[in-house]
A and B are shown apart, each in its own frame.
Chain A
Amino acid sequence: MSPEARAPAATSPSAPSRAAAVRNILGDLARIPGIRGGLLIASDGFVIASSLPAELAVDPLAALATTLGRELELGTSRLHRGMVSTAFFSADEGSLFLGPSPMGFVLLLAERNADVGAVRGEFRRALDTLQSAWRAGDHTGTKL
């Protein structure tokens, strides 16, 4: 039996409007030139939405990104360093952006040749939009 066999069964009925709106925001980010894709992840590492290329293994990446996000959250809190708004990590072949959202974290992967400054601006706007979308939705998700 694989670990997944013991995991809760996937039940995926039609998504409610708020979830769809959140997925649309992630889809819009993925259309920025130089973006490889992104993830919306719960704080327990559960992948709520993904626009990453198929060749990337999503679950291990989400596990690491969530652990990084929690370290940023908890570390800054423990050390009284305020709240993290965005984090950017850069390597030879590309970079990643990570930010908090009401549902957990948003991860965005950018190619090496992406305009990092422009992506950062779009990423911040998307995080703000997520916050607004979340506040606007009621508990049944029918307001979006």
Chain B
Amino acid sequence: MGVLTRVWERIRRPRRAVNSVELLQRAERLRREGRYEEGAALVRAALAQDPRSTLAQLLDGYFHAALRESEAARASFRAVLTLDPEHPRALLGLARIAFEGGDAATAGQLLERALHIYPDFPEALALLDAARSVTGAAAAVAPSGVTAARLAQIARPDGTRECYLLAADGGVVFAHPATATRDALAAHLARVASLGAATLARAGMGPLRRAAVSANPGTTFLQTDGRQVLAVTLPPEVPVAIGHGQTAELWKRFTAEGAA
């Protein structure tokens, strides 16, 4: 066979198809670089080759979650569980999504399933603690109309947009202003306080005392003793140190009224 023939044969030979394992390895590398769209495309190609690959379904869930596509991530993690009903990372993925949806009870059940299989699963243990702190915090204070009326008389910082005093479980002791989204906001603030406390505790820093969440319309300052949470939203131009000071002062006044 002449040289030209050999070269022609080599050119004509189809290139070796990239198999699903290689595709997933490449996808995993892209995941480590934060290149989620590209990685997700490779996973889709791998799934087209091997739809029953647990690893491909799991990575598909990870990429969707990284891209903040919760519903698609949920479908992928469920697909993993149809292939392997006890897959702990798929259970963890579903638990995260349940948590995101505000369903800490379902998240807790999924995490308990994962921990039943692998009792030393560190992420599941950490999230289960947080789920329990969200769902298990009993209302320490029974809100009374009298208390709320007295608290309404206390001067709030200038420019206060919202002022909430909450029990640790999100039960509203006092809310200003009273809006249609009051309960949803209270639940959100309580979850933020609970998750912030869990994260600080996991970092070995002790119990949460105060927080500041800056967003476009203003900064929400939190103060807590673990039993109750005071949340005050002030205009964005208020310096953080000033906002903390004003919130601490309001906490003192509420305490003096026997509310906090």
Contact = CB atoms under 8 A, between A and B. Distances in A.
Q: In terms of DSSP, what is the predominant structure of the interface of chain A?
A: mixed
Given A61-B203, A93-B206, A45 B96 contact: yes
Given A8-B55, A72-B213, A79 B126 contact: no
A4 B181 CA distance: 41
A131 interface: no
A133 B160 CA distance: 36
A85 interface: yes
Q: In terms of DSSP, what is the predominant structure of the interface of chain B?
A: helix
B127 interface: yes
A9 B28 contact: yes
B99 interface: yes
Interface residues of A, number: 67
B67 interface: yes
Given A7-B89, A91-B207, A59 B122 contact: yes
A59 B123 contact: yes
Interface in B87-103: 87-89, 92-93, 96, 99-100
A22 B93 CA distance: 26
A27 to B, nearest CB: 16
Contact of A71 (B28, B62, B123, B195): B195
A102 B123 CA distance: 23
Interface in A30-72: 36, 42-46, 48, 56-57, 59-68, 70-72
Contacts of B157: none
Contacts of A42: 31, 34, 36, 62, 65-66
A120 B123 CA distance: 28
A61 B208 contact: no
Given A3-B89, A3-B114, A61 B215 contact: no
A96 interface: yes
A117 B241 CA distance: 8
B214 A65 contact: no
Interface string B202-230: 11111111111111110000000000000
B59 interface: yes
Contact of A87 (B121, B197, B214): B214
A67 B188 contact: no
Interface in A83-102: 83-96, 102
Contacts of A2: 118, 120-121
Interface string B61-80: 11101111000010000000
Contacts of A78: 184, 188
Contacts of B241: 117
Nearest to B240: A120
Given A44-B96, A90-B209, A96-B205, A139 B35 contact: yes
Given A18-B33, A44-B62, 4 more contacts: A2-B118, A61-B126, A68-B195, A68-B198
Interface of B: 24-25, 28-29, 31-38, 54-55, 58-59, 61-63, 65-68, 73, 84, 87-89, 92-93, 96, 99-100, 114, 118, 120-127, 130, 181, 184-185, 188, 191-192, 195-217, 240-241
Interface of A: 2-3, 6-13, 15-16, 18-19, 22, 36, 42-46, 48, 56-57, 59-68, 70-76, 78-79, 81-96, 102-104, 109, 117, 120, 139, 141
